[in-house]
Amino acid sequence: MATSVYESKYIYLVDGTELYLTPLKIKYLRQFMQQFESIKSSNNEDQAFIELTKAALIAMKQYCPSINTLEILEDSIDLKSVYTILEIGGGVKMREQEEIPINERAQKSSGSWDTLDLAKLESEAFLLGIWKDYEELEMSLSMPELIAILDSKRDLDYQEKKFLAAIQGVDLDEQSGQKEEDPWEAMKARVFSRGQATNSSDIVSLQGASASKAGFGIGLGLDYEDLTKK
C-alpha cells in the first residue's frame, strides 16, 4: 500500500492559480510558530484575525512568494483556504465554522516549541553529511520529513547494534523494554498527529508514516471523530 510521510492538499487562488500545500520547511515553520503565538495572546477578535492572516502570509514564502503583503493575500485567497494553509503548512487545525473566538481556537489547536530540542534533532540529521550547513537543512526539510529521516536512521543504527549483540549472544529486544513512555516516540506522535496526540499510544498518532509502520491508521481506512469539539 502506497503511503506518505505527510498530508498534502491543493488549493486555488481567486484568479484560479493552483497551489500545492505541504508541511512548511523548518525555516518557515519556525517563523510561523512564533507568529502563531501572537494569535493565542490576542486581546480581541479583530487583532486575532490580523495575526492569523500574518501567519498565513509567512507560509506564502514557501507556497507563492509573489504574495508578500497582507493586502495581496486578502485579495488572492478566501478564508477557508487560509485555514487549510494553517492546517497543512503549520500543523494547526482551526475550524472556520466554530463559534469560538480565534485566540481560544488557537490555544486549543497546537502546543508550542518550548519543549522541542530542535537543535539536537537537526544536529543528529546533519551528521548524515547531506547538507552543507544548517540553513540548507532547514530549507530542505519539514518537521515530518526530519522525524521520518531520524526514525529510519535510528532504526538502522539499532538493527546494526542488534546484529553485533546477537553475535555475542545478547538479545537487545529482550533487554530494551522501557516502563515509561519513550520521549522520542512521544515527540513523533505529536508531530505526525499535528499536536493532537500526547503519546504514542494515542489513536490519533497513527497517521502517515506511523500508520504505515503499524499496518493501519487514520488516512489508511481508519478514522475518528473528536466528540469534545461538538
Predicted confidence at residue 6, as pLDDT, reads 85
What is the block-wise mean pLDDT of the chain (230 residues), using blocks of 10 residues? 77 95 95 89 88 95 96 94 92 73 74 72 92 95 92 85 78 60 64 56 51 49 49
Predicted confidence at residue 220, as pLDDT, reads 46
Nearest to 16 by CA among 81, 61, 71, 90: 81
Q: Strand pairing partners for 222?
A: 218
Q: 161 is written with which cell numbers?
A: 547494534
Predicted confidence at residue 53, as pLDDT, reads 94
The cell 500500500 sits on which residue? 1
Q: How many CA atoms lie within 13 A of 125 on its CB side?
A: 27
Predicted confidence at residue 176, as pLDDT, reads 61
Predicted confidence at residue 77, as pLDDT, reads 94
Predicted confidence at residue 184, as pLDDT, reads 62
Predicted confidence at residue 139, as pLDDT, reads 96
Sign of CA dihedral 11, 14, 18, 23: negative
Burial class, 223, CB count within 10 angstroms (exposed 0-12 / middle 13-18 / buried 19+)? exposed
Sign of CA dihedral 78, 82, 88, 92: negative
> Using CA atoms, how far apart are residues 74 and 187, in angstroms rounded to an integer?
35
Predicted confidence at residue 18, as pLDDT, reads 96
CB 27 within 8 A of CB 39: no
Predicted confidence at residue 227, as pLDDT, reads 52
Q: Strand pairing partners for 21?
A: 9
Count of CB atoms situated within 10 Å of the CB of 51: 20
Cα distances from 93 to residues 2, 188, 205, in angstroms, run 25, 18, 15
What are the phi and psi torsion angles at 49 (to 5°)? -65, -40
Measure the CA dihedral 180/183/188/191, to 10°.
120
Cα distances from 211 to residues 13, 42, 63, 133, 184, in angstroms, run 32, 36, 27, 32, 17
